[in-house]
Chain A
């Protein structure tokens, strides 16, 4: 599957554990406009299990999430 949407803001959160990965995600959102897209790289395990769930709860929309060859995840989120 190819992703045609590109991120307006990108954050590589590889190696950033919970909950600091969510804190940094929220800080990134705070500097973005509604409708803009945030691209994240999240570790496998708790980060990919928790961060998307939390951003959905705050009303943002997950556009895609796919696992990369190194096991980390690429996630695209549209800001509410």
Chain B
């Protein structure tokens, strides 16, 4: 299955894969620090396991970034 993750083309061997598994494969250390966007739409964390990907999907991991003051 061919999907785009953070702007880069990715070939996945899995026939079926949900967002939770994708976060795992991509070794996202703390999923709480990532907001996920699928084809331009925000996906709630509680829906990661029920959201299955299909060929052509465009996934963005948006990292929470604080920093700045202290």
Q: In their complex, do chains A and B touch, with some C-beta pair under 8 Å?
A: no
